[in-house]
Amino acid sequence: MSKMVLLPRALRSGTVARIAAVHSRHVAPTMVLAPRLFGSVAQPGVSKAPAAESRTMRMTTEEAFVKVLQQRGIDNAFGIIGSAMMPISDLFPAAGVKFWDCAHEYTAGLMSDGYTRATGRMSMMIAQNGPGITNFVTPVKTAYWNHTPLLVITPQAANKTIGQGGFQEVEQMAMFRDCVCYQEEVRDPSRIPEVLNRVIEKAIRGSAPAQMNIPRDMWTKIIDVELPAGVTLERSPGGQKSVAAAAALLSGARFPVILNGAGVILSEGGIEASKKLAEKLSAPVCCNYQHNDAFPGSHPLSAGPLGYNGSKAAMELIAKADVILALGTRLNPFSTLPAYNTSYWPSQAKLIQVDINEARIGLTKPVSIGIQGDAALVAEGILEKLAPTAGDADRSNREDTIKVTKASWVKELAAMDHELDDAGTSWNERSRTRHPERMSPRIAWRSIQKVLPSDAIVSSDIGNNCAIGNAYPSFESGRKYLSPGLFGPCGYGFPSIIGAKVGQPDVPVVGFAGDGAFGISMNELTACGRNDWPPVTMVVFRNFQWGAEKRNTTLWYSDNFVGTELNVGVRYAEVAKACGLKGVQVSTPAELEQELASAIEGQMQRNETTLIEVILNQELGEPFRRDAMTVPNVVAGISGDDMHKQP
């Protein structure tokens, strides 16, 4: 719930900065008191004698801004240069801040998300006020639901003209109110370091983007200011009574299952803590949708991802649970929708939900025990309090069941070459008949599996071909799988993998996207090959259609395809070449395996960025939203004869 919090009129005048708006979803409501003044604007011709042992320094507002960035170690920024930010960007090279000048602000924001998700280090998004900042809305909301702590800097039209509808003016605070965990606008130059430091801390504590809005006439002022020190808060191990109750419930379970979410990845030591707990209980571990890297894929207790096109083994095992420990997950409802024609969530199971944000506990499913706390610390606390006999009940049979269920799914997945048609439809059959020489999406994904390095960072995109791939990649550590998240922006795969490579230059990275989604972010081909931009490998599945929407059309709209067809004349590999990059087109499994292996080698050894255009047939997998679609009704009827000409 968002609230506008204003200070009393007396505290909003003179040299005291006004907090224009505060929005927080991640922290409990707090009293808003008169802010501490960390400095003041230096008066021309007035020499202010510092107090004894004062740490107040005289500097410009842009120097103060950059010094706070340095104190917090924020050394990578993504965006497009603009006049409203140039006073600070002018200092970036001297300060050790790398500014990645992207082709579009939309993709710049997704790069920032990819960088921080792959490294755990905060990055900054910044651009020109007005139209530059409006392009940040989608990536900031994407980062919000990816739980990515980002610093969002939004230069604003000048105070002197604000409200007059001037050049590049828009209500930037209102625009991001539902996209960030915290936002604050600066109204006095002396408050810049204080506000910036607080916004950074709010992003860290909320594990989400936080916004600092700065009118452009705040720059180039001289201030006497004390740089604020950061305050580190310990993560909570959870309420001890709740932790003890959870341990007791798990100790008595006959078929405990652990469900790891993003919080396990974000929590220091979260994956290791969940592994120790799982081993004590002999509990299978499922990963929440789009978080395949939340548990080591090679571990005997790893069951794979739940959700859309996920692991049948994970679904069959969690269906048997009498107690579920949902660790570090908000249990988004989309993540546990029925799949493979099965409603697998065990409604009678006892549910223990652990989340750092209390507002999300019990929001989507009935909870037996809720624990607000850090995933690693809570898991460690539960492990300490387990009964000596925890996990012993039916342990041998449970372990056998896990092993057999996993093996069965591996065999079934290896035999899944093609997509099925629903009764009464034939699109997939027709697609195979029309182009029998082309690979299906699943055959392509199996070839990718063969050559993908075990330590690679992988990004994915929204779309049918990428969604089919959800069951295939597994990882041995966290921060390896960059999925678009539940906001679901098209065009995520390419920019996010660039950001990941910026942050992890010594690790192989491979991005994946369908041709529709890639078309949204392909402008970054003009940026990523320049100067010191790091090399990446990008795989584009080419099936010449918006697959997810076309699948909906085949199932509910009688093949009445509207807006689903892409330009068959475009060759993305040739576009890459025109941008000075390497581009190859493949159409067989052998070609795909050879070129992907070569591209990764080129990335790591020859500084080559390669785009691999993979020609596929037009088979379509499961629709995203069976739960939300239905055959339309015809009542009044629609006829083109009723169309009138405009006057």
State both tokens at 580: 């000075």
**Is the CATH number 3.40.50.970 carried by domain 9-44+55-225?**
yes
Mean pLDDT of 515-538: 95
Mean pLDDT of 522-547: 95
Beta bridge partner(s), residue 407: none
What distance in Å separates the CA atoms of residue 95 and residue 63, rounded to the nearest whole number?
A: 10
Q: What is the mean pLDDT of the chain?
A: 91
What distance in Å separates the CA atoms of residue 488 and residue 335, rounded to the nearest whole number?
A: 13
What distance in Å separates the CA atoms of residue 215 and residue 355, rounded to the nearest whole number?
A: 36
Strand arrangement, sheet containing 256-260: 302-305, 285-287, 256-260, 323-327, 350-355, 369-372
Tell me the CATH number of domain 417-615, given options 3.40.50.300, 3.40.80.10, 3.60.15.10, 3.40.50.970: 3.40.50.970
Residue 9 is classified by DSSP as G
What distance in Å separates the CA atoms of residue 30 and residue 1, rounded to the nearest whole number?
A: 13
What distance in Å separates the CA atoms of residue 302 and residue 304, rounded to the nearest whole number?
A: 6
State both tokens at 635: 């009542």
In the predicted structure, residue 169 carries a pLDDT above the cut 90? no
Burial 255-275 (b: 16+ CB within 10 A, else e): bbbbbbbbbbbbbeebbbbbb
Q: Which long-range contacts (CB under 8 A, 24 or more apart) does 550-554 make?
A: 550/427, 550/464, 550/618, 550/620, 551/427, 551/464, 551/620, 551/621, 551/622, 551/623, 552/623, 552/625, 552/629, 554/425, 554/427, 554/620
Confidence class of residue 91 from pLDDT cuts 50, 70 and 90? Answer: very high
Q: pTM score, two decimals?
A: 0.90
Ordered DSSP codes for 343-354: ----TTSEEEEE
Phi, psi of 269 (to 5 degrees): 80, 10
**CATH 3.40.50.1220 residue spans of the chain:** 240-411
Domain 240-411: homologous superfamily in CATH: TPP-binding domain (3.40.50.1220)
pLDDT tens figures, 595-641 = 999 999 999 999 999 999 999 999 999 998 888 899 999 999 999 99
Burial of 634 (0-12, 13-18, 19+ CB in 10 A): exposed
Burial 308-328 (b: 16+ CB within 10 A, else e): bbbbbbbbbbbebbbbbbbbb
By three-state DSSP, how is residue 241 classified?
helix
What distance in Å separates the CA atoms of residue 585 and residue 577, rounded to the nearest whole number?
A: 11
What distance in Å separates the CA atoms of residue 284 and residue 320, rounded to the nearest whole number?
A: 11
Strands, E assignment, 543-603: 582-586
The pLDDT value recorded for residue 269 is 97
pLDDT tens figures, 172-219 = 999 999 999 999 999 899 999 999 999 999 999 999 999 999 999 999
pLDDT tens figures, 252-310 = 999 999 999 999 999 999 999 999 999 999 999 999 999 999 999 999 999 999 999 99
In the predicted structure, residue 155 carries a pLDDT above the cut 70? yes
Which residues lie closer than 8 Å to 647 by C-beta, 6 or more apart?
A: none
Ordered DSSP codes for 171-191: -HHHHHTTT-SEEEE--SGGG
What distance in Å separates the CA atoms of residue 316 and residue 56, rounded to the nearest whole number?
A: 63
Least confident of 11-20, 70-79, 581-590: 11-20
The one-letter amino acid code at 196 reads L
The pLDDT value recorded for residue 162 is 75
Angle made by CA atoms 625, 628, 632, in degrees to the nearest 5: 115
Mean pLDDT of 151-157: 94
pLDDT tens figures, 6-59 = 333 333 333 333 333 333 434 333 333 333 334 555 544 444 544 445 689 999
The pLDDT value recorded for residue 242 is 98
Confidence class of residue 166 from pLDDT cuts 50, 70 and 90? Answer: confident
Confidence class of residue 337 from pLDDT cuts 50, 70 and 90? Answer: confident
Mean pLDDT of 224-251: 95
The pLDDT value recorded for residue 41 is 55
Burial 408-426 (b: 16+ CB within 10 A, else e): ebeeebeeeebbebeeebe
In the predicted structure, residue 123 carries a pLDDT above the cut 50? yes
By three-state DSSP, how is residue 582 classified?
strand
Do residues 194 and 18 touch, judged by C-beta distance below 8 A?
no
Within 10 angstroms of residue 558's Cβ, the number of other Cβ atoms is 11
Integer CA distances (angstroms), 411 to 303, 313, 446, in order = 14, 11, 13
Mean pLDDT of 221-244: 94
State both tokens at 303: 């069951």
Portion of the chain with pLDDT greater than 90, in percent: 85
**CATH 3.40.50.970 residue spans of the chain:** 9-44+55-225, 417-615
